[in-house]
Amino acid sequence: MIIQVRELSKHFKVPVRKEGRFAAVRNLFSFERTSKVAVDGITFAIEKGEMVGYVGPNGAGKSTTIKMLTGILVPTSGEVEVDGLIPHRDRKRLAYRIGVVFGQKTQLWWDVPVIESLRLLKEIYKIPMSTYETNLELFNDMLDLHEFQDTPVRQLSLGQRMRSDLVAVLLHSPDILFLDEPTIGVDVVAKDRFRSFLQQLNEERQVTVLLTTHDLSDIEKVCERMMIIDEGRIIYDGAIADMKERIMPYRVLVVDFADNVPHIEIDQAELIERKNRRIRLRFDRRQISASALITELVARYPVRDISIEEPEIETIVREIYEHSAVVERLED
Amino acid sequence: MIESLRESLHLYFKFIGIAIRSRLEYRSDFLVGTVGIIILNAVNLSLTWVMVSRFHVLAGWQFWEIVMLYGMWLLSHSIYAVFFWHLSTLEDDILHGRFDQYLVRPCSVLLQFLGREVNYMGVGDVFFATAAFSLAYRNLGLDWAAGQWIFFVVAVLSGTVIETCIAWIIGSLSFWIGRSRSVFWLSMRLKMLNQNYPIDVFGQGFRIFVTGFLPIAFMNYYPLTQLLGKPNALGIAALGFLSPVVAGILLALGSLVWRKGLAGYTSSGS
Residue A332 clears pLDDT 60, i.e. is over it: no
Put simply, the answer to whether A110 touches B22 (Cβ < 8 Å) is yes
Residue B150 clears pLDDT 90, i.e. is over it: yes
Which of A72, A93, A98 minimises the CB distance to B100?
A: A72
Please report which confidence band the pLDDT of residue A323 belongs to, taking 50, 70 and 90 as the band edges: low
Using CA atoms, how far apart are residues B161 and A102, in angstroms rounded to an integer? 35
Q: Name which residue leads in pLDDT, A176 or A315.
A: A176
Please name the amino acid found at residue B48: T
A251 touches chain B (CB under 8 A): no
Residue A327 clears pLDDT 50, i.e. is over it: no
Residue A329 clears pLDDT 70, i.e. is over it: no
The share of chain B scoring above pLDDT 90, in percent, equals 53
Using CA atoms, how far apart are residues B99 and B70, in angstroms rounded to an integer? 36
* Predicted pLDDT of residue A49: 95
Using CA atoms, how far apart are residues B13 and B4, in angstroms rounded to an integer? 14
A213, A26 in Cβ contact below 8 A?
no
Please report which confidence band the pLDDT of residue B260 belongs to, taking 50, 70 and 90 as the band edges: very high
Please report which confidence band the pLDDT of residue B162 belongs to, taking 50, 70 and 90 as the band edges: very high
Mean pLDDT of chain A: 87
Half-sphere exposure of A38 (CA within 13 A, CB side): 23
* Predicted pLDDT of residue A15: 73
Using CA atoms, how far apart are residues A266 and B49, in angstroms rounded to an integer? 101
- Structural Rg of chain B based on CA atoms: 19
Min Cα separation A123/chain B (Å): 7
* Predicted pLDDT of residue A325: 52
Using CA atoms, how far apart are residues B13 and B257, in angstroms rounded to an integer? 25
By C-alpha distance, the chain A residue nearest B23 is A111
Please report which confidence band the pLDDT of residue B185 belongs to, taking 50, 70 and 90 as the band edges: confident
A160 touches chain B (CB under 8 A): no
Please report which confidence band the pLDDT of residue B122 belongs to, taking 50, 70 and 90 as the band edges: confident
A290, A237 in Cβ contact below 8 A?
no
pLDDT digits (tens, 9 = 90+) for B203-219: 899 999 999 999 999 99
Q: Name which residue leads in pLDDT, A288 or A178.
A: A178
Q: What is the enclosing helix (H) or strand (E) of A201? A: helix A188-205
Task: Find residue A15's DSSP bridge partners.
Answer: A33
Put simply, the answer to whether A125 touches B106 (Cβ < 8 Å) is yes
Using CA atoms, how far apart are residues A13 and B2, in angstroms rounded to an integer? 40
Give the Cβ contact number of residue A146 at 10 Å. 13
The share of chain B scoring above pLDDT 70, in percent, equals 98
* Predicted pLDDT of residue B268: 65
Q: Name which residue leads in pLDDT, B48 or A48.
A: A48
Put simply, the answer to whether A74 touches B21 (Cβ < 8 Å) is no
Residue numbers in B near A111 (CB within 8 A) = 21-23, 25-26
Put simply, the answer to whether A73 touches B269 (Cβ < 8 Å) is yes
**Average pLDDT score over residue span A151-176:** 92
* Predicted pLDDT of residue A4: 96
B123, B58 in Cβ contact below 8 A?
no
Residue numbers in B near A13 (CB within 8 A) = 268
Residue A106 clears pLDDT 60, i.e. is over it: yes
Residue numbers in B near A120 (CB within 8 A) = 14-15, 18
A182, A101 in Cβ contact below 8 A?
yes
Residue numbers in B near A102 (CB within 8 A) = 100-101
Residue numbers in A near B15 (CB within 8 A) = 120
A43, A59 in Cβ contact below 8 A?
no
Residue numbers in B near A98 (CB within 8 A) = 104
Q: Could you give the angle at which helices A158-170 and A188-205 cross, rounded to 10 degrees? A: 10
* Predicted pLDDT of residue A230: 87
Put simply, the answer to whether B267 touches A73 (Cβ < 8 Å) is yes
**Average pLDDT score over residue span B71-98:** 90
* Predicted pLDDT of residue A324: 59
Put simply, the answer to whether B21 touches A93 (Cβ < 8 Å) is no
Which of B98, B103, B267 minimises the CB distance to A91?
A: B103
Residue B105 clears pLDDT 90, i.e. is over it: yes
**Average pLDDT score over residue span B83-100:** 87
Q: Name which residue leads in pLDDT, A157 or A26.
A: A157
Min Cα separation B105/chain A (Å): 5
**Average pLDDT score over residue span A308-317:** 76
Residue B94 clears pLDDT 90, i.e. is over it: no
For A152-189, the DSSP string reads BGGGS-HHHHHHHHHHHHHTT--SEEEEESTTTT--HH
Which of A64, A92, A102 minimises the CB distance to B106?
A: A92
**Average pLDDT score over residue span A303-332:** 68
Task: Find residue A5's DSSP bridge partners.
Answer: A44, A80
* Predicted pLDDT of residue A328: 45
User: Residue A265: CB partners within 8 Å, gap ≥ 6?
Assistant: none
Task: Give the ranges where B115-212 is alpha helix by DSSP (H).
Answer: 121-139, 146-172, 174-177, 181-196, 204-208
* Predicted pLDDT of residue A104: 81
Chain B residues contacting A via beta carbons under 8 Å:
10-11, 14-15, 18, 21-23, 25-26, 96-101, 103-107, 266-269
Q: Which of A9, A112, A154, A176 to mutate to test binding with chain B, by most B CBs within 10 Å of its CB?
A: A112
Put simply, the answer to whether B18 touches A98 (Cβ < 8 Å) is no
Give the Cβ contact number of residue B180 at 10 Å. 21
* Predicted pLDDT of residue A303: 87
Q: Name which residue leads in pLDDT, A31 or B99.
A: B99
* Predicted pLDDT of residue B11: 93
Q: pTM value?
A: 0.83
Residue B241 clears pLDDT 90, i.e. is over it: yes
pLDDT digits (tens, 9 = 90+) for B5-28: 898 999 999 999 999 888 888 888
B202, B59 in Cβ contact below 8 A?
no
**Average pLDDT score over residue span B126-145:** 93
A136, A97 in Cβ contact below 8 A?
no
pLDDT digits (tens, 9 = 90+) for A119-150: 999 999 999 999 999 999 998 888 889 999 99
Put simply, the answer to whether B100 touches A112 (Cβ < 8 Å) is no
3-state DSSP of B108-128: CHHHHHHCCCCCCHHHHHHHH
Min Cα separation B22/chain A (Å): 5
For A286-322, the DSSP string reads TTS-HHHHHHHHHHHS-EEEEEEEPPPHHHHHHHHHH
Residue A46 clears pLDDT 90, i.e. is over it: yes
Using CA atoms, how far apart are residues A232 and A8, in angstroms rounded to an integer? 10
Residue numbers in B near A64 (CB within 8 A) = 269
Of the candidate ranges A129-133, A150-154, B51-55, B103-107, the one whose mean pLDDT is the lowest? B51-55
Residue B270 clears pLDDT 50, i.e. is over it: no
